[in-house]
Amino acid sequence: MAIGNGDDFDTGFVGHRFRHHGFAFAELHREHHAHWHDDALDGIELVVTLGSEWNVYRSESAAAVEAEAALVRTIVERGIPLFAICFGAQVLSHAFGGVVQRAPEPEIGWLDIELADPVVAAGPWMAWHDDTFTVPDGFTELARTDSGSQLIVGERSLGTQFHPEVTETMIERWLRSGGAEQLVARGVDPNELRAATRANVMASRSNADDLVDWFVSKVA
């Protein structure tokens, strides 16, 4: 099962690699959280939670965040493997007592992460976020940048602040749906991000494959 926003639902390279391992995905949309049922997790063997334009701490998204946090706690309590990306990782942190807040500086673009344990490549990885989260009890930080945690792992759970799933098509969709204006407001040329994406995306795909493979073999 994958959880995300209906207007930007794409598991990308991560979903492709999980399918390689024999998993399939039903979609659960955050906008319809009021209609989630208690049996939503019955028969589920893996959950991927995706990124979002939402913020964990905004009042307008509070009901959806709390619904997802409650579901995440149930996922972890049941021992269902959880792979949480960006906003999904922030909800994971929030669900177990971590703090999600505005980052000192937004991170948008291709970057390397500082690894405490070299379980995956340092980069390139795509980052696109304004927020950061603290490491909740029961989790270990495996990577970070100056902005904050980038990779945490718990019992059968993993959270990434970066976007291992991202494809070139995703980046173009984000740029066309307001991301380009966001970059221009920060003095960044969207075409520079397009060019950097073309230069880095295939290496990132290989890194994403390795991350999923490690998750399946060592975490899940």
Encode the chain (220 residues) as per-residue pLDDT tens digits: 999 999 999 999 999 999 999 999 999 999 999 999 878 899 999 999 999 999 999 999 999 999 999 999 999 999 999 999 999 999 999 999 999 999 988 999 999 999 998 899 999 999 999 999 999 999 999 999 999 999 999 999 999 999 999 999 999 999 999 999 999 998 899 999 999 999 999 999 999 999 999 999 999 8
pLDDT for the residue numbered 220: 85
Point out the catalytic residue in the list 33, 68, 86, 129.
86
Point out the catalytic residue in the list 33, 94, 129, 163.
163
Q: Strand 2-4 to strand 27-29: parallel, antiparallel, or no bridges (unpaired)? A: parallel
Could you confirm whether domain 2-166+204-219 is CATH 3.40.50.880? yes
pLDDT for the residue numbered 38: 76
8 Å CB contact between 6 and 29: yes
pLDDT for the residue numbered 6: 93
Backbone angles phi and psi of 109, in degrees to 5: 135, -175
- Residue 165 catalytic? yes
Using alpha carbons, list the distances in angstroms from residue 160 to 32, 82, 132, 157, 163. Answer: 24, 11, 11, 10, 7
pLDDT for the residue numbered 193: 97
- Residue 163 catalytic? yes
Point out the catalytic residue in the list 33, 68, 107, 165.
165
pLDDT for the residue numbered 180: 96
Backbone angles phi and psi of 2, in degrees to 5: -125, 140
Parse the chain into domains and list their residue ranges. 2-166+204-219
User: CA-to-CA distance for 162 and 159, rounded, in angstroms?
Assistant: 9
User: CA-to-CA distance for 37 and 76, rounded, in angstroms?
Assistant: 17
User: CA-to-CA distance for 143 and 119, rounded, in angstroms?
Assistant: 10
Q: Is the pTM of this model over 0.95?
A: yes
8 Å CB contact between 190 and 183: yes
